[in-house]
Every structure is written in structure tokens, then in C-alpha cells.
Amino acid sequence: MSTPESWAYLNRVVEGPSRALQELLAAGRDADEIADGVRRRASWLGGLAEETAARHDWDRAEQDLAAAAEAGARLLTPEDADWPRLELDRAFGFAATGMSEHVRTYQSDAVTPHALWVRGGAVTPALAQSVAVVGTRAVTRYGVEVTRQIVGGLAAHQWTVVSGGALGIDTAAHEAALAAGGTTVAVTACGIDRVYPARNAALLDRIADVGCVISEYPPGTPPQRHRFLTRNRLVAALTRGTVVVEAAWRSGALNTLSWAEGLGRVAMAVPGPVTGAGSLGCHERIRHGRAQLVTGADDIRSLLGPAGAVDAAEQYELQFAPTAVQGLSRNELRVFDALDPGVGRAAQEVSAVAGLPLALTVHLLVDLGKRGLVAREGVEWRRAEE
């Protein structure tokens, strides 16, 4: 196995993702050899020579490992048992097929990370059954409530909720998972020892207590716009699918949804009120078939779980069972409607009002009586008291 110092050095001098570095690793060179080659500017580096030209002398491995340890974090590499190999191989293996238009646009970034910095518990168990929930920072009361309902339902069935630790929907998702006693993971766009946004410092600590905080960037790295876009691919890759709650026309959350498409994950969006622009991005993705419409945890579980494990329609039938009257057949309704509230009618009159044969009308009246919907008083029938 390669030394942690070699991996830390490469993580510092190569701001991932790096296709050139992955090709060298795939060719059988280990991190120690590649790190030494970068330092010496070896002739066999290929494209990695250009990528490391500006930073090859940034040899801060010991400092980075010490800074991470001080923050309660560790360096995770592909040589570790806890490396999320299954999730990353599936996602970036799909990307390599070239089937996605999005990935062809962002081909240079459609590469697995070469190292991760982690604060908290084990990564692999946390991601075994996970879904990303992301959305706008300019969250509304509607967005917060929808997020809480969805995440609460997912946490109740042991789904890990992954998000970006940002303000808005991200914060609502993490907090809802914690409130439900579930597991949640934050993937950040800055060094593992930095807190962004600052007001979420306590939240990130709580996330690390029950799940984990993950970063692709070495300690001290500041959050910058391009890093958020690169981070989004990791959020999508580590989960079975991505749900966007509230995203305006150019919301950054839609980038994560695009990565879900590009990496072969399930893209989902929650519809929002049509009275504002806060969910225009969600509506557009749904309209063009680029995202599945979901309105609750059962919808999400039915899309991401094993085939047939969850029938969302059946769940709705149980949750919103029809009333006794709503369950009547057409002829039963004709007989029932022929009885005005508070008015008794003989069977012959009911037959005439309903427009049905007398024998059939009597049969239906008797059956409705057994179900407690109508009652017979002498020769007259009337609706039962509601």
C-alpha cells in the first residue's frame, strides 16, 4: 500500500478530478510512484505533468494530515476498505459509456476522486442506501415543509440523506434527517477543516456525530464557485438518486440533477406552486422528462428501491382510502342518490328516480342496507344518518 503522505501530496498538487492521474493508477502505478514522479517531473507523467506544473512543489502532506487530524478528520483513499468503491464505480462507469449528453459536455469532470477527507463515521455503511436531497438557498416555507416531510419519510425507512451542507434546502434536509433520528452526510466544497457556511458549524458537527462530512479538497481550501460545481458530481455519484426541492430557472441545484442524469442515477424533482418562480427549474425538468415527478418519500422509495418493494399508488390507496360512498359502483350510486337526505321513499319510487328495474333496485337497497348506508322504515327507504 502507498503511504498516506503520497496520497495527501497528490491531493494537494492535483485539484481533482484528474483523468490523467486515474489513468496512471489504472495502469498499475501506485500513489508512491506517481508522487515521486510528480516531484521529479518524470517523463512518463503524460497529461499529469501539465496538471501539476504549477503546484508540484506544494509538498505539504504532513501539514495537511496534521490539520485534518486536528479537525477530527482522516484521509480516505481507494486503498482503504471504507472507500465507497461500489457507488463510484457504478456512477463513473456509466459516465464512461458516453451515453449521457450532459457527461459529454462535462467530460473532464466525469472522473472519480482520487482521495476524500472524512470527518465522522464510516462512509460505506452510510451510503449503502442513500438519496441526495438538494435545492435552492432562497428557500420558502413551502420548500422547508416539503423537505421535512420527504426526509422524515425516508429516514423512517433507514435511507441516508446526502446534501451539500449549504443554507436553504440543504440545511432543511440535514436537520430533518437528524430530527427523525436518521443518518445524513454532507459533501462540502471546501477543506475538511473549514466551515462553510459559518452559521452551520454546529449542524456540521451534529452531522459528523451520526453520519459523516466529506470533502474532496485538502485542508485549508476555500469554497469557490467552480468547486461547488465539481462537488455536485460527487453528491450525485454517491447516491442512488437526486431529489431537487425548489429550484429556480438557473438554480445551482439543477447542476446536481444533471449530474444524476449523466452518472446513471435517478433524477427526481418536486413540483412547486405555480404562483412564483421558485420551482421553475423543477417544472422544466419534469416537463421535458428529465426528472421524475415525486411528491413524497414513498414515490422516491418506489423509484430507488428494489423492483416491487414499494408500490406508491398502493400506499396512497391505504393513506387516502375512499369513503363508503366513494366506493360505490355506478348503479349503487344511482340508487343511493335517488334517496334525498331526510326523505323516505318506497322501493317503487326509488326505482323510478334511479331509472333501474324494481328487482335490481330492491337488491341494491338491501345490499346498501347491509353496509349501513341506507335504512328501511316500514315500506320506505331512507339514507342512514351520516
Residue predicted with more confidence, 50 or 103: 50
Instruction: Tell me how far apart the alpha carbons of residues 256 and 253 are, in angstroms, rounded to a whole number.
Output: 5
Q: What is the pLDDT of residue 309?
A: 54
In order of 63, 110, 297, 334, the CA distances from 80 in angstroms are 21, 22, 33, 70
pLDDT 10s digits, 39-82: 999 999 999 999 999 999 999 999 999 999 999 999 999 999 99
Going by pLDDT thresholds of 50, 70 and 90, the confidence category of residue 103 is low
pLDDT 10s digits, 231-244: 999 999 999 999 99
Nearest to 299 by CA among 260, 245, 256, 253: 245
Q: Is residue 143 part of a domain?
A: yes
Size of the chain in residues: 386
3-class DSSP state for residue 213? strand
Residues 84 and 55 in one domain: no
Q: Is residue 264 part of a domain?
A: yes
Show which of 23, 41, 59 is a domain's final residue. 59
Report the CATH number that the domain containing residue 304 is assigned in CATH: 3.40.50.450
Q: What is the pLDDT of residue 311?
A: 55
Query: Do 343 and 355 form a contact (C-beta atoms < 8 A)?
Result: no
Q: Is residue 250 part of a domain?
A: yes
Instruction: Tell me how far apart the alpha carbons of residues 48 and 24 are, in angstroms, rounded to a whole number.
Output: 9
Mean pLDDT of 87-95: 94
Compute φ and ψ for 46, nearest 5 degrees: 60, -130
Nearest to 159 by CA among 195, 184, 190: 184
Q: Which residue range(s) make up the domain with 110?
A: 64-318
Residue 54 corresponds to which cell in the numbers above?
504549477
Query: Do 190 and 222 form a contact (C-beta atoms < 8 A)?
Result: yes
Residues 211 and 231 in one domain: yes
**CB proximity list for 257: less than 8 A, separation 6 or greater:** 134, 236, 242, 244, 247, 267, 269, 285, 290, 291
Q: What is the pLDDT of residue 99?
A: 77
Residue 14 corresponds to which cell in the numbers above?
492535483
Percent of the chain with pLDDT over 90: 82
Q: Beta strands 160-163 and 130-135: pairing type? A: parallel
Q: What is the pLDDT of residue 143?
A: 96
Q: How many domains, in total, are found in the chain?
A: 3
Residues 261 and 363 in one domain: no
Residues 209 and 81 in one domain: yes
Residues 2 and 33 in one domain: yes
Query: Do 65 and 10 form a contact (C-beta atoms < 8 A)?
Result: no
Residue predicted with more confidence, 272 or 102: 272
Report the CATH number that the domain containing residue 341 is assigned in CATH: 1.10.10.10
Q: What is the pLDDT of residue 341?
A: 84
Compute φ and ψ for 78, nearest 5 degrees: -60, -15
Query: Do 361 and 350 form a contact (C-beta atoms < 8 A)?
Result: yes
Residues 347 and 306 in one domain: no
Residue 182 corresponds to which cell in the numbers above?
436518521
Residues 244 and 168 in one domain: yes
Residues 290 and 355 in one domain: no
Q: What is the pLDDT of residue 246?
A: 94
Residue 104 corresponds to which cell in the numbers above?
459529454
Q: Beta strands 130-135 and 241-245: pairing type? A: parallel
Q: 217 pLDDT exceeds 90? A: yes
In order of 78, 155, 200, 344, the CA distances from 227 in angstroms are 21, 29, 19, 75
Q: What is the pLDDT of residue 223?
A: 94
Angle between helices 61-70 and 4-13 (to 10 degrees): 100
**Residue 102 is which amino acid?**
H
Q: What is the pLDDT of residue 321?
A: 61
In order of 90, 264, 292, the CA distances from 101 in angstroms are 18, 12, 18
Q: What H or E segment, with its residue span, contains residue 190?
A: none
**CB proximity list for 147: less than 8 A, separation 6 or greater:** 133, 135, 169, 172, 173, 176, 245
Query: Do 159 and 176 form a contact (C-beta atoms < 8 A)?
Result: no
Q: What H or E segment, with its residue span, contains residue 116?
A: strand 116-120
Residues 90 and 46 in one domain: no
Q: Is residue 308 part of a domain?
A: yes
Q: What is the pLDDT of residue 271?
A: 96
Q: Is residue 71 part of a domain?
A: yes
Residues 32 and 142 in one domain: no
Going by pLDDT thresholds of 50, 70 and 90, the confidence category of residue 13 is very high
* pTM: predicted TM-score of the whole model, two decimal places: 0.82
Nearest to 259 by CA among 115, 162, 165, 147: 162
Q: What is the pLDDT of residue 156?
A: 96
Residues 131 and 263 in one domain: yes
- For 42-57, give the DSSP string: -GGGTHHHHHTTTTTT
Show which of 267, 287, 318 is a domain's final residue. 318
Residues 178 and 36 in one domain: no
Q: What is the pLDDT of residue 104?
A: 61
pLDDT 10s digits, 130-183: 999 999 999 999 999 999 999 999 999 999 999 999 999 999 999 999 999 999
Q: Is residue 324 part of a domain?
A: no
pLDDT 10s digits, 279-326: 999 999 999 999 999 999 999 999 998 755 555 555 555 455 677 888
**Mean pLDDT score of the chain:** 92
Q: Is residue 323 part of a domain?
A: no
Mean pLDDT of 113-128: 97
Residue 65 corresponds to which cell in the numbers above?
494530515
Residue 282 corresponds to which cell in the numbers above?
423543477
Q: Is residue 32 part of a domain?
A: yes
Going by pLDDT thresholds of 50, 70 and 90, the confidence category of residue 384 is confident
The sheet with strand 345-346 has its strands ordered as: 345-346, 380-383, 374-377
pLDDT 10s digits, 320-377: 567 788 888 899 999 999 998 888 999 999 999 999 999 999 999 999 999 889 999 8
Residue predicted with more confidence, 310 or 119: 119
Residue 338 corresponds to which cell in the numbers above?
335517488
Show which of 40, 59, 78 is a domain's final residue. 59
